[in-house]
Amino acid sequence: MKPSALASKLCSWRESQASNVNLDKLSGLLATSYGLARPVECQLLRAYTNDVYIVSSPDERFVLKVYGRGWRAESEVRYEVALLRHLSAGGLLIAAPIPSAGGDFVLGIETTGARRHAVLFEYAPGEKPGPPFNPPLYYEFGRAIARMHTLSNGFETEHRRRPLDLIRLIDEPVTQIVPLLQRQDDREFLVDLASRVRDGIFAFAAGGLSWGPIHGDASLDNVHVTADGGVVLYDFDSGGPGWRAADLQGWAANSPEHKRKWDAFRRGYSSIRSLNQADILASPYLTVAWSIWGIKIDLDNRITEQGEARVKEYLHDKVKMLRRDERTLLRDSGPSTETHNSEVGL
């Protein structure tokens, strides 16, 4: 899928902010902190909420994530590191965090105007999948997500990351977004949509949605596939304690175009971990909730400081997207007390 013009503008703006990092100093810091063989080279891969760099030494490649200013508190970063170490110890294919020579996993990096947290990760084995994204790939993807959910059941840590609950996903974003919308019909639409999504998720949760650590951005954009077909997960930055249904590809739930992918993902998932009807039916609602939360993330981390005109343009684009999602994702998937607790064999 090609990025929209608006997304391209966002990336370009963030890249200009990331350019404030002195790459020579960053390379030297990494060589010293992690004992990497010199010369070490850093190349900006992506600048969005976080800045992501490919780090190359003569014999290895790594990925460095420099967390966005104000995006994650240190305890939240350490939660992610602890979860990944737990999953890796359980045998899940992931890009694991790497400790420094001193044994710490979180590095402090001085950037223009702020000290930011950073974590060095393994470079995920395999390659990013390309089209066609066929059902066998989604079957293996479903198995990988199910393994992640199963392994994370026993995860415990002293570090905390805010739960991805209704307050975080819907209430706070809507309170922030509605006053910024220019049109009354857009304001009414967002309030009504948020109420519908909130009520739906609340009803499903009362019926027994699975809760625990989730990936939070489970898409093929965040996996590599190895030569033998293994699916490697990475980029757990949007994750935390939440409803597991958020990782179930709800964007495809009510799409005839993507039915074979959706069915394959569910079959793969249920070959490892059982699914109940509430999780399946809630997944498109959580997809919409994630889109609402994503608007707040963008406003807080990129859009607002670009000025009023950019905010107006961005929100216009996003309201159009939400109207489309309401039509396609929420049709015929409302709560039903008769199906909440039934398991689904696929």
Quote the pLDDT of residue 185.
98
pLDDT for the residue 1: 35
Domains of the chain in sequence order: 5-122 (3.30.200.20), 135-344 (3.90.1200.10)
> DSSP assignment, residue 115?
E
CA dihedral 170, 173, 179, 185 (to 10 degrees): -40
Contact of 250 with 218, CB cutoff 8 Å: no
What confidence tens digit (pLDDT) does each residue in 67-86 have?
998 899 999 999 999 999 99
The pLDDT value given to residue 28: 96
- For residue 96, the model assigns a pLDDT of 98
Three-state secondary structure string covering 191-233 = HHHHHHHHHHHHHHHHCCCCEEEECCCCCHHHEEECCCCCEEE
pLDDT (0 to 100) of residue 114: 81
Strand partners, 213: 241
Q: How many CA atoms lie within 13 A of 215 on its CB side?
A: 29
* d(C-alpha 297, C-alpha 285), whole Å: 19
As a whole number of angstroms, the distance between CA 214 and CA 123 comes to 21
Per-residue model confidence (pLDDT) at position 58: 96
Predicted local confidence at residue 4, as pLDDT: 47
Tens of pLDDT, residue by residue over 33-72, are 999 999 999 999 999 899 999 999 999 999 999 999 889 9
In sequence order, the β-bridge partners of residue 117 are 108
> Virtual CA dihedral for 135, 131, 216, 253, nearest 10 degrees?
-40
pLDDT for the residue 315:
98
Residues of the chain with pLDDT under 50: 1-14, 16, 337, 339-346
CA distance 248 to 219: 9
**pLDDT of amino acid 137:** 98
What single-letter amino acid sits at 40? Answer: V
pTM greater than 0.85:
yes
Tell me which DSSP letter residue 7 carries: H
Alpha carbons 152 and 13: distance in angstroms, whole number = 36
The predicted structure's pLDDT at residue 207: 87
Place of tokens 């198995």: 143
Q: How far apart are CA 202 and CA 21, in angstroms?
A: 43
Residue 42: predicted pLDDT: 97
